[in-house]
Amino acid sequence: MKQKFSMCRLILSGILVAVLVSGYFLYRKFATDSRRSVRVLAWLRNPEAHTDWAVRVGQRCGDAPFILPTDGFVGYLWDDSFRVNHRHQGIDIFGGKAPGITEVRTAYAGYLTRLPDWKSSLIIRIPQDPLYPAQQIWTYYTHLADSNGNSFIISDFPPGSSEIYVEAGTLLGYQGNYSGAPGNPTGVHLHFSIVLDDPSNPGHFLNELEIKNTLDPSPYFGLPLNANTNKDVIPVCSNTP
């Protein structure tokens, strides 16, 4: 009986240690994300006070293959967490201006598609990944509409557009605050992600909402955009004039 009681105590102690360790790492994770949220709020309230936090549309950081697709503060990174069981699939760049003002341009040349029901989103097929030419990737741009879903995508790319070739730096539209639910706006920003091709259906993209279907954008932009390795650094080009 005594031996059984000792075994139970040992098991409970092990569980407690595991819970404490998990809690510590969760605390560190959410504490990091909270710091980023504080900076996002500071930027949105007064971007002019934090101009050194901003990236610029068309910038290329070093010899990275992608150019930056918009102006603003890269507030949230790839694999940030805003809530339990959530993993951010891309980056969020906050322009610091009203909806419909801050330009969004292509980060890399490719073939543009806008599905018929997409109010604020575009996706661009890149036949050869510039870092891994054997694979095809897609770049996804969203929140290009106002809070009610009125699109800020330019008229060259109406709903139903398919496989339109666009060069790097092509104007796509303007940052908005459409969340997908009319009347429930996000902050004005561009969400950008790199999505994998569907191996079971080549020429089609995987579900962008799952992080396993996206790539860390850091090497494509030459910036520290991975939340797991960048805990507190504001991503800006070191070669900014």
Residue-wise pLDDT for 75-110, tens only, equals: 999 999 866 677 999 999 999 999 999 999 999 999
Strand partners, 73: 54, 94
- % of the chain residues with pLDDT over 70: 84
Return the H-helix or E-strand segment holding 139: strand 137-142
Q: What is the pLDDT of residue 2?
A: 53
- % of the chain residues with pLDDT over 90: 78
Cα dist. 173→24, 76, 88, 120, 166 in Å? 42, 21, 23, 9, 13
Domains of the chain, each with CATH number or no CATH: 2-221 (2.70.70.10)
Report the alpha-carbon distance of residue 101 to residue 190 in Å, rounded: 12
Specify the range with the lowest mean pLDDT, choosing from 33-42, 65-74, 96-105, 164-173: 33-42
Query: What digits encode the pLDDT tens for the residues 6-44?
Result: 554 544 444 333 322 233 233 333 345 678 999 999 999
Tokens of 101: 């003002």
Q: What is the pLDDT of residue 20?
A: 26
Which of 91, 74, 70, 25 is closest to 234 using CA atoms?
74
Query: What digits encode the pLDDT tens for the residues 101-151?
Result: 999 999 999 999 999 999 999 999 999 999 999 999 999 999 999 999 999
Q: What is the pLDDT of residue 239?
A: 62
The amino acid that residue 56 corresponds to is R
